[in-house]
Amino acid sequence: MRVKFVRTLLVLALLGNIIIWHKIWWLFTSQHLSKPASSAPSTHDTPQRLHRRLARLVTIVVRQFETFENDVAATVESVLNSFPAMPILIVCNELPYPPLEINLPNDTFKNVRLINLQPEFNKSFEERNPLYYVRTKFVLLLPDSTRISNKQFIQEAVIKASRTGAVAIPVGKNQLTCLEMSLKIKEWSLRIAKVPGQLCDAVMGRHATLVNVNTLKKLSDPFMLPFMESLYIQTTATGLKIQLMRHQFNEGKPLFRSQQSQWKLQQLQQRRERSMFEKLGIKKVVRATGSVDWYGCSRETQRCFGSIVNGVPSYLYQNRYTPPCCLAGLRKVAHHVFDNLERAGIRYWLEGSSLLGAMKNGDILPWDYQVEVGVNRDDLNRCPWLVKAKNKPIADNYGYVWEKATEGQFFKVQFSNSNRLHVNLLPFYVKNGTMMRDSWFSKNRDFPEQFLHPMSSIEFAGRQVPSPNNIRDFLEINYYKGVVENPELPGKIVN
């Protein structure tokens, strides 16, 4: 019995040792396998090993270059001299002509691919998408005419980008400027400001950018021209920050030295920038210098939105407010109308949504598309432009168009013949102590005459404008209780 007992203890001890060693082996292998294949390279790697690891981590992309003058071939050769196995994508909007001096079938260039974004027969959408060919964790966006002089720079950039998501590497000896970008998508606007520090929304100056490829996959159009400007606007919307690096790549051949090529490049840049802002839906840009550029409608163009259907402008369905260029145009029309009414001695007051906007923020409501003004019908003949407008539309001496509305007994004053941003003039008359309307106006109701005796005034669009007294009660007659604190968007679209 004792022998059997000892044998049993030995067997149990042996099994226990086997289980313990199995656990140790399992923990060791699981930790080893859990290390990512694309982790940042070690600083102790040999040069050969470093080259191979970086080639598995980074894809080079050369995007913005000009067909009439470029240094793409030498830029690509510079990369291949340092990293023969690194994949390189040359991305263009159309096949470059004259052709790039790169012998793509050559074995030296076996990792180089030219991608034409332009639609082609027998080429799928995927085949025209540069990200379809990226198998690495990072993409290095390399400007034309750049030379990679120090292989360690890319290694350091990969380590930093693994922490921050993106880094900017200077090209040449120029200083990079860190920019903060305030992007307000609903307001169609972008404000750019220079800021100190090394963490930026965007970077100004000649540089390369190393970015995680997953970031590019989140963008709506990551290869839009002008390339880096459009990229940074889109990454700002995602909240990505760019880390500046001190080390730099060398510059290659000087480009665009002649006045003709500089002028050509400037014209291309302006066209591309305008197209970019149009695609991204940005209509007002405040530059770092403080200057303001408008990319929306003007007095000489049509307004930025089409017909109003059921009182709801199309931009609200895009989850946006009135374009800022339209608000600026509306203010100009309103000031012109106020000046003419006061000059003619016509009694007027703010009505409807315009009065609500004045009460809320002293301006037009952020989503409004017109200005509403009530006028005393008995005074209309005092204004020569309203008298003429009864018969046909008439443009005044400043190009504003006065006309009688086809949909009712009221008047419109438009920004111009092209741009139909307008102020509505809504005639009221007194009957039994009530201000009555000539016809139906949207959300403009009859109201007791006492609201205009005496008249009050309120700040609106940068000036004092006549208004009914007891504005809150007046608005609640037109709308509903609590409208000042909780105004509703037209059509009850969710804000």
Domain count, the chain: 2
Residue 332 shares a structural domain with residue 433: yes
The per-residue pLDDT for 22 is 54
- For residue 408, tell me if it sits in a domain: yes
| HSE-CB of 251 using CA atoms within 13 angstroms | 11
Backbone torsions φ then ψ of 493, nearest 5 degrees: -70, 140
- Confidence at residue 38, expressed as pLDDT on a 0 to 100 scale: 44
In this structure, are 330 and 464 located in the same domain? yes
Quick: pLDDT tens for 36-70: 434 555 555 556 676 788 889 999 999 999 999 99
203 and 103, same domain (yes or no) = yes
239 lies in a domain?
A: yes
Examine residue 301 and state whether it is found in any structural domain, yes or no: no
- Same domain for 391 and 473: yes
Q: Which of 204, 229, 251 is the last residue of a domain?
A: 251
| 177 found inside a domain | yes
What span, in angstroms and rounded, lies between the C-alpha atoms of 22 and 220?
Answer: 50
CATH code of 423's domain? 3.30.460.40
331 half-sphere exposure, CB direction, 13 A CA radius: 20
| Gap between the Cα atoms of 207 and 146, Å rounded | 9
Range 85-111 burial, b when 16+ CB lie within 10 A, else e: ebbbbbbbeeebeeebebeeeeeebeb
Do 331 and 243 belong together in one domain? Answer: no
Same domain as 180, residue 95: yes
Instruction: Please give the pLDDT value at position 445.
Output: 83
**Domain coverage including residue 379:** 317-479
Alpha carbon distance 114, 95 (integer Å): 9
One domain, residues 203 and 350 = no
The span from the CA of 96 to the CA of 67, in Å, is: 5
450 shares a domain with 328: yes
Q: In this predicted structure, what is the pLDDT of residue 5?
A: 57
| Domain-located, residue 302 | no
Of 216, 251, 286, the domain-final residue: 251
Phi, psi of 259 (to 5 degrees): -65, -35
Residue 171 DSSP label: B
CATH number, domain with residue 123: 3.90.550.10
pTM of the model: 0.85
For the chain, the straight-line distance linking the first and the last C-alpha, in angstroms and rounded, comes to 85
* Residue 485 falls inside a structural domain: no
What pLDDT sits at residue 494?
Answer: 46
Whether residue 55 is found in the same domain as residue 154 = yes
Q: Same structural domain for residues 211 and 324?
A: no
Phi, psi of 60 (to 5 degrees): -85, 135
Are both 128 and 242 inside the same structural domain? yes
pLDDT digits (tens, 9 = 90+) for 100-122: 988 767 777 889 999 999 998 98
- Mean pLDDT, 10 residues at a time, over the chain (495 residues)? 57 62 47 42 59 88 95 94 93 92 76 93 92 96 91 89 94 93 97 96 97 96 97 97 93 95 96 96 96 94 89 91 96 98 97 96 96 96 96 96 88 96 96 86 80 96 96 94 92 54
One domain for residues 339 and 426: yes
CA gap 386, 220 in Å, rounded: 49
Q: Tokens 């952020």 — which residue?
A: 366
- Say which DSSP state 309 is in: B
The reported pLDDT for the residue numbered 491 is 72
Dig out the tokens for 214 from the structure.
Answer: 């997953």
Classify residue 260: in a domain, yes or no: no
What does the DSSP 8-state code read for residue 66?
B
Q: Give, in order, the Cα–Cα distances in Å from 260 to each of 52, 145, 257, 271, 431.
A: 43, 19, 9, 17, 73
Boundary residue ending a domain (204, 227, 251): 251
Please check whether residue 12 lies inside any domain of the structure: no
Residue 182 corresponds to which tokens in the numbers above?
């305030």
DSSP string, 161-219: HHHHSEEEEEBSSPPPEEEEEEEETTTTEEEEEE--SSEESEEESSEEEEEEHHHHHTS
